[in-house]
Amino acid sequence: MCKLFFLLLLASSSAVAQPPAWYPGMPWNPLEPYVVIGQDEPGYRNWYLASPSHATQVKALNDYLATYGVNGVVPTWQLLRTASDWYKCGAPAFEVPPPEDWPNVVQALRYVRDKVIPVLGPVEPVSVYRNPMLNQCAGGARESAHRFMQAVDMVPLRPITRDAMIRTLCAVHARSGQGYGVGLGFYVGLRFHVDSRKFRTWGTNDEGTIACARSFELAHSSDPDAASAQPAANPLISQSPSTQPPNN
């Protein structure tokens, strides 16, 4: 009986961890597998009103993003979402990252603004900053980019299949990811990841092969001609030291 219970529990956990793919004709609710009550907009309003310091911190972050022209790429409150498993860890659903980490998200947001939204349509962040304790509890890598506010996990808000999403984002990343110095990754379902750590890619497509094979090839190529074939950083993009992610 105990063994049967364990197998049922494991199957249930796997089902939660691996949301079903979307196909035309199915209901469209891309946030459902990743955002629970408490981390939605009403949950944010409750968090915001819970302490006067929250309003001050949120305004400071929004002003910082405005200084670098990336406020409004997505609503600022969505950038405060922590981990999708926040409630399992006894952690807050929302958290303003330490100010020293704010520069790390700027380039990721530029890439989302310039390259992701034009081809995919609007997106919604489901996880951004995770403090060290929450990151560990949620199963994140020890040096996860989320620990330093370098990464944004998102879902598309317009209906699209996972295969089409991957093909679209990989094509853009192969052309421009190196110039922006951003990483692109895919999880199960419609959740994808953009980070400002470095040009890289991971994740598999529905066939189980490398999702962004061309980006992967370029990122790991020892052929200098292959790397130089990619466009240089856009000179219109500010590259001041204060907006560069740490080298890790």
pTM comes to 0.81
* Token couple for 227: 């790397």
* Token couple for 202: 């991971």
Q: So what's the pLDDT on residue 25?
A: 86
Q: So what's the pLDDT on residue 131?
A: 95
Q: So what's the pLDDT on residue 88?
A: 95
Q: So what's the pLDDT on residue 140?
A: 85
Nearest to 105 by CA among 140, 137, 74: 74
How far apart, in Å, are the Cα atoms of 93 and each of 1, 79, 162? Answer: 36, 11, 27
**CA distance linking residue 230 with residue 174, whole number of Å:** 8
Residues 6 or more apart whose CB falls under 8 angstroms from that of 170 comprise 184, 201, 211, 212, 213, 214, 215
Flag whether pLDDT at 40 surpasses 50. yes
For residues 104-119, give the mean pLDDT: 98
Half-sphere exposure of 206 (CA within 13 A, CB side): 12
Q: So what's the pLDDT on residue 14?
A: 34
For residues 68-95, give the mean pLDDT: 97
**CA distance linking residue 240 with residue 206, whole number of Å:** 39
Amino acid at 43: G
Average pLDDT, the chain: 84
Q: So what's the pLDDT on residue 19?
A: 65
**Model confidence over 221-232: pLDDT tens digits?**
844 444 443 433
For residues 80-104, give the mean pLDDT: 97
Q: So what's the pLDDT on residue 79?
A: 98
Lowest mean pLDDT among 60-74, 113-127, 128-142: 128-142
